[in-house]
Copies of this chain bind each other. A is one copy, B any other.
């Protein structure tokens, strides 16, 4: 299903491991920068993801997906939100209709 540029799959990473790693690497800088500037960085990465979707460079596309996820984890750290708990309602079924696959009207 995936076509990553990496030659081999990395070991599995839990969402909380990623968030903990981001806190270890960047929390002091993230807190010093603050929530608004960290949010701005996240949106800058969203823009870079948009550009990567346009250019068709697979390695760059993968890179930008990673950056968006990393900055989202940084922002969650600054805000004190556990991403894994936040997304848990998507683990088994659509949180809106309760079905798997989702049976909501198209959106």
Contacts and interface: CB of A to CB of B under 8 A. Distances in A.
Interface of A: 1-4, 6, 9-10, 12-18, 21-29, 32-33, 35, 39, 41-43, 46, 49-50, 53, 61-63, 65-66, 68-70, 72, 75-77, 79-94, 100-102, 106-107
A29 to B, nearest CB: 6
A32 to B, nearest CB: 7
A63 B51 CA distance: 27
Given A10-B85, A66-B86, A102 B25 contact: yes
Contacts of A82: 2, 4, 9, 62
A53 B93 CA distance: 27
